[in-house]
Structure 1
């Protein structure tokens, strides 16, 4: 039997989804998980690093701009560049963009209002470690809670993201139709989540940790965590059997 996956959840001043993420990984998915303080110099012995949602450093200057310079981020970048799996959720996505690990920028919502509600996203690429248990075109119901979720890239970068299949989730209606009305924040191309070129870093605005157990009334977020756990377990088994 494969050993448990080791998760590390980064804690910044202002993080407010760190305990949610820790609880889900520990109690729902029964994995090893630890908190990593923003002043630590190393992420330590982990398989996955998660940058959770919240308001790191009070979102001063702009969301993620100060957290990007936290001491631990130097090793997060090294970990990611070595192929380690990284997930940035909401504010975590903003931090990954500010750190240059993902392209683009997260702007103010087009409504200029904070939005907290369930939305739908369509899986655009199932061939990632984060979506391998999903179906192409599958619709997931996930919650969002952000004021700066309006993802933007220039036309050339967007074209490259689409051609390289880096767009993983797009906002849609409950039937999977990509429409302006289904876009909660004005994101270009209805983008809700992307991966980097090598596919080991995921940034997404919706919160899978808030909908991963039946007690919360929705379990669609579990597909993202289960996909990652499954893909890492398969990789470990492959190495052991070589």
Structure 2
């Protein structure tokens, strides 16, 4: 498996994490993840580590090169849209990045997803995905060979300004999202850093929001200390209606969220890691890895 190319510590962790998280190491080693980089995107190191620590192969491709040669998507099973400040967040977060992709790579991206490809986006990546139409994706009546029109957006936080703090997310157990499968349950939450100034998820109309709710396409919601979805700040850092922290498409293979699970790969990443360790709550790895493990498991199983 690809653990062999990592540093000594990461190689040891890779073997252990794959075992703890129930991954078939040989199957995961065949999964290639493509990460577009450049133009202000800046979380490629953490995102690359998230997949490599679980044994996958990762390829970084500058957005310019991807637009110049869409065939660079070939061979990848997962595309990961990373966080950062693409194009300086001019006009709106993720808008210019999304437009560049839609008009330069739109058909290739739509075909990638239609043919079974998977995608995940964090923070700026999620902002771009909703403006690109990858989320919530095409309706049942729309052709899969074209990107869907934009139906949701991510706008400025209700409490204006950039918010950088850890948040909890409750998981919808009934969601079709393969990335969050098995992570829910009573009192269970996902914790991750959240750092953004534009994170409030809004919908084209109430009918769309109701439909996505009914289809359990909001896999994660900001939660309070008891694990209950909440509108209250600061547990809900941006005021998203229904505490929505992310979305998935109809297939469950395309997922985006505002927080950064790629920033919780090691136990030491958590601000209370010593207290968690002493209380016996430390499984030996950062809990953000569970999301990426789910994605790799689904990709490796086809």
Same fold by TM (over 0.5)? yes
Q: Write the mapping of 1:1-242 to structure 2, written as runs, cut at 5 A.
A: 1-4=26-29, 5-26=31-52, 28-39=53-64, 40=66, 41-42=69-70, 43-68=73-98, 69-70=100-101, 71-72=104-105, 74-102=107-135, 103-125=151-173, 127-137=176-186, 138-153=188-203, 154-181=205-232, 182-217=235-270, 219-233=286-300, 235-236=301-302
Check conservation: 1:37, 1:72, Cα contact below 8 A: no
- Which string of whole-angstrom CA distances, capped at 9 and with x for unpartnered residues, describes residues 45-69 of structure 1? 1110000000101111111111111
Q: What is the alpha-carbon distance in structure 1 between the residues aligned to residue 34 and residue 96 of structure 2?
A: 20
Does the CA contact (< 8 Å) of 1:12 and 1:57 recur in 2?
no
How many residues align? The count is: 234
Distance (Å, rounded) in 2 between the aligned partners of 1:144 and 1:132: 21
Q: 1:200 to 1:213 in 2, by over 3 A?
A: same
Check 1:77–1:18 CA distance in 2 against 1; reply closer, same or farther (3 A cut).
farther
Q: Deviations over 1:31-84 (max 9, x none)?
A: 100112212232231110000000101111111111111434552333123231
What residue ranges of structure 2 are gaps of 5+ in the alignment? 1-25, 136-150, 274-285
Q: 2:49, 2:154 → 1: CA distance?
A: 27
CA RMSD of aligned residues (A): 1.7
Q: Moved runs in structure 1, 4+ residues, more than 6 A?
A: none
Aligned to 2:5: none
Alpha-carbon distance, 1:144 to partner:
0.5
Unpaired stretches in structure 1, ≥5 consecutive residues: 237-242
How far apart, CA to CA, are the structure 1 residues paired with 2:166 and 2:189?
A: 13
CA shift for structure 1 position 179: 2.2
Larger radius of gyration: 2
In structure 2, what is the Cα distance between the partners aligned to 1:58 and 1:73? 22
| Structure 1 contact 11–38 (Cα < 8 Å) conserved | yes
- Whether the 8 Å contact between 2:245 and 2:257 is mirrored in structure 1 is yes
Tell me the TM-score normalised to structure 2 length.
Answer: 0.73
- For residues 193 and 95 of structure 1, the distance between their equivalents in structure 2, rounded to whole angstroms, comes to 13
- Cα deviation for residue 186 of structure 1 reads 0.7
The answer on whether the counterparts of 1:133 and 1:226 sit within 8 Å (CA) in structure 2 is no
Q: What is the SS of the residue equivalent to 1:2?
A: helix
Higher share of residues assigned strand? 1
Change in CA separation of 1:209 and 1:216 when aligned onto 2, cut-off 3 Å: same
- Name the one with the larger helix percent: 2
